Amino acid sequence: RLKYKSDLREVFRGKPVWLSFNKAEHYMKLSMATYGCTFVMYRYCCTGICRLLRHTTCCACFRPKKVMVEGDNCCMCNMAGFKELADMTEDEIIYANFKNRIFEVPFCIISDHKTKSIVLTLRGSISLRDVFTDLVACPEKIDLEGLPEGSMAHKGMLITAKKLKTHLDETKTLDKALSLYPHYDLIITGHSLGAAAAVLLGILYKPIYPELKVYAFSTPCVITRAAAIYCESFVFTIGVGDDFAMRISVETIENLRAQLFEALQNCRLPKYRVIVNGFGYALFGVPSKHLNTTWRDDRPTPHHSVLLPAPNAVPYMFAEVATRKYTNVSLYPAGNILHIVHKKKSKEEKRKADEKTYEMRWLSPDSFDELRVMPRMLLDHLPENVYKVITTVLDEQETEIEDNVEFIM
């Protein structure tokens, strides 16, 4: 098993200063805030209205605005949600766009005085339009200065990044923000779809702003391997547990389909029994005796015919469907990938009050080349759970991790 560690200082030893876990927590909070009023109501079912009311503006359409806001309603509910979740004042928000269309994601530009940076934060998938963007998953060639030759990216996410860059260039919003604070760094951050768009937007803007950095959370498979390695100089990706989004791509889905066909073909049990037992396993887990007997029993089951014929009797069309490939291009998450998992504790460790809850390690893009169907594959992707894991890791550290300390091997 790959070596996971709980001590942040040990994990980040030898890494550049900008790979900061403290900053990652801060930018994850901003990425989560971009989900706006919908996320406030989801996270605080009982008190969400009260939390939004203190930031809303009545009849905002007829009032002068300090901040240029597009795509929000007359009470500025999404802006209210952003201010509530990000814990920011209106003076720190330079521009906000909550328009949500296919290939267009809401975003905010912030003057973050805490980290002395201009932060462009992008929203992840939360609407049906975002799902359509995610589903346009075929690889698209991307030619750009510095990128390895033949690099390809997720088509829907690449279109989203290009449209956002066009909008920012035409309105010069980003240039104006940087001119207000010329000594501030440029940071792009996002979660889920927003993380993928942030990575691709960072690649597009890298020749113009060489010092920009990207903090991406739960990044989907967005770019080919060589390009993912290229992004290590400016992209910091954090993934949690069995997050499905970091492993899902056209190729991994096709591989999972082929494995399912093979399992059905080789299974000697009646299929009704597989389905019925599956519901029980989903609710109560798989008993160890079943793992050691039932599923490893190669004896033919009497009086029951299998759903699929023997391998040598499989029709050509079925075999062709099982092995058919839509694409041979593999896409991966980009940059320096920190993977955080829940620590499995022994009985002795459970008795210790100071024992860490999570452990982590750096992974290569190749580690996410298989789609795994696991109980927490969706829960580990949700932004509030990712943020909770990051804050828990920081809270459990024995010594404070300073942002300005460069760790040396």
- Do residues 75 and 188 share a domain? yes
H helix runs in 181-268, sequence order: 193-205, 225-230, 250-266
User: Which residue, chain included where needed, has tokens 């088509």?
Assistant: 155
Rg of the chain over all Cα atoms, to the nearest angstrom: 24
- Do residues 266 and 218 share a domain? no
- Do residues 137 and 283 share a domain? no
Full-model pTM: 0.84
- Do residues 235 and 262 share a domain? no
The residue segments making up the domain with residue 66 are 8-249+332-395
- Secondary structure letter of residue 332 according to DSSP: B
Of 298, 323, 348, which residue sits at a domain end? 323
> CA separation (Å) from 94 to 61, 116, 119, 136, 373?
18, 14, 10, 32, 41
- String of DSSP letters for 159-207: HHHHHHHHHHHHHTHHHHHHHHSTTSEEEEEEETHHHHHHHHHHHHHTT
β-pairing, 93-97 vs 139-141, is unpaired
Question: Is residue 154, in this structure, part of any structural domain at all?
Answer: yes
- Do residues 76 and 196 share a domain? yes
User: What CATH number corresponds to the domain at position 231?
Assistant: 3.40.50.1820
Question: Is residue 267, in this structure, part of any structural domain at all?
Answer: yes
Of 278, 297, 323, which residue sits at a domain end? 323
- Do residues 61 and 180 share a domain? yes
Residue pair 352/207 in contact (Cβ under 8 Å)? The answer is no
Bridge partners of residue 238, in order along the sequence: 217, 338
Alpha-carbon distance of 123 to 195, in angstroms, equals 8
Alpha-carbon distance of 21 to 360, in angstroms, equals 12
When pLDDT is cut at 50, 70 and 90, the band that residue 168 belongs to is very high
Q: Which residue has the higher pLDDT, 369 or 271?
A: 369
- Do residues 131 and 45 share a domain? yes
- Secondary structure letter of residue 214 according to DSSP: E
Q: Which of 85-94, 196-205, 294-303, 306-315 has the highest mean pLDDT?
A: 196-205
Percent of the chain at pLDDT above 70? 82
Question: Is residue 403, in this structure, part of any structural domain at all?
Answer: no
Per-residue pLDDT tens over the stretch 199-224: 999 999 999 999 999 999 999 999 99
- Do residues 286 and 209 share a domain? no
- Do residues 52 and 107 share a domain? yes
Q: Once rounded to an integer, what is the mean pLDDT over residues 2-16?
A: 88
- Do residues 120 and 203 share a domain? yes
Per-residue pLDDT tens over the stretch 43-94: 888 888 888 888 777 655 555 566 688 887 888 888 888 988 998 888 889 9
Alpha-carbon distance of 148 to 151, in angstroms, equals 6
